[in-house]
Amino acid sequence: NAGVTQTPKFRVLKTGQSMTLLCAQDMNHEYMYWYRQDPGMGLRLIHYSVGEGTTAKGEVPDGYNVSRLKKQNFLLGLESAAPSQTSVYFCASSRTPRTPRSGANVLTFGAGSRLTVL
């Protein structure tokens, strides 16, 4: 069982270049998330999706776009990379809560993608 797989694991970009990070999950999860983690800090939510074809903004969405064309994949795009986007990016997925009130989504994380923008 692969769980959540992120590609690539490492990437170095020059300012202004574009790239796409791919997240794939094989657990049939409805919800998927993209986070970034900067040194010594927690995770900040960039964008998330509650189902195929849907996306929503998180805490820090500026400079990023996402797409969820297939249930198992969630893509994170940087159209014009900036040094401030140097970070480690984590994808996560979860099941739909059993009830709207429970909100009991346990997240399964990928191993991370380390991006450096020069």
Partner 1 sequence: SQQGEEDPQALSIQEGENATMNCSYKTSINNLQWYRQNSGRGLVHLILIRSNEREKHSGRLRVTLDTSKKSSSLLITASRAADTASYFCATIGGKSTFGDGTTLTVKP
Using the rule CB under 8 A, is 42 a contact of partner 1?
yes
Whichever of 12 and 111 has its CB closer to partner 1, that residue is: 111
For the bound state, the minimum distance from the C-beta of residue 58 to partner 1, rounded and expressed in Å, comes to 6
Q: What is the dihedral of CA 28, 93, 75, 49, to 10 degrees?
A: 90
Site for partner 1 in 4-23 (CB under 8 A): 4
Using the rule CB under 8 A, is 89 a contact of partner 1?
no
Tokens 């074809």 — which residue? 53
Contact between residue 62 and residue 43 where contact means Cβ atoms under 8 Å apart: no
Q: Is the N-terminal amide bond of 39 cis, ω within 30° of 0? A: no
For the bound state, the minimum distance from the C-beta of residue 59 to partner 1, rounded and expressed in Å, comes to 7
Distance CA 75, CA 96 (A): 20
For the bound state, the minimum distance from the C-beta of residue 12 to partner 1, rounded and expressed in Å, comes to 17
DSSP 97: P
Provide the binding-site residues for partner 1, judged by CB under 8 A: 4, 33, 35, 40-45, 48, 50, 56, 58-59, 90, 92, 94, 101-112
